Amino acid sequence: AQKVTQAQTEISVVEKEDVTLDCVYETRDTTYYLFWYKQPPSGELVFLIRRNSFDEQNEISGRYSWNFQKSTSSFNFTITASQVVDSAVYFCALSDGDGANNLFFGTGTRLTVIP
């Protein structure tokens, strides 16, 4: 069965600090997709990244970077030089690869960036 674990419930950092949000997943599928979403106070989910199971290259997008390691079933997300606007709840999610397109969410990590 698919499962996503975000062990960090809440994190607080001071502005300009780097912060890493952890995500560990479980799946029996060989083909799957991993996602990160940001949910600001407004509630709307903001798509950040999608990674398929065959692409283990790390990715960097501005201040955001992602570290995908199949050996440890982890897909961690790092924000460098954090800003107050980064304050939000971040969800890691897993989509199975059987075409049903089900999406399994972790419990989320609430990030607070203190000015």
Partner 1 sequence: GAVVSQHPSWVICKSGTSVKIECRSLDFQATTMFWYRQFPKQSLMLMATSNEGSKATYEQGVEKDKFLINHASLTLSTLTVTSAHPEDSSFYICRDKGELEYEQYFGPGTRLTVT
Select 18 or 98, whichever has its Cβ closest to partner 1: 98
Binding of partner 1 by 61 (CB under 8 A): no
Cβ-contact 49, 38 below 8 angstroms: no
Q: Are 92 and 36 in contact (CB under 8 A)?
A: yes
Bridge partners (DSSP) of residue 111 are 11, 88
For the chain, helix (H) and strand (E) counts, in that order, are 0, 12
Asked if 41 touches partner 1 (CB under 8 A), the answer is no
Site stretch for partner 1 (CB under 8 A), options 11-19, 42-50, 56-64, 69-77: 42-50
Kindly state whether residue 47 participates in binding partner 1, applying the rule CB under 8 A.
yes
**Residue type for position 69:** Q
CB of 103 to partner 1, least distance (A): 6
User: How many CB atoms neighbour CB 56 within 10 A?
Assistant: 12
Given the rule CB under 8 A, which residues bind partner 1? 33, 35, 42-45, 47, 50, 52, 91, 95, 97, 99, 101-103, 105-108, 110
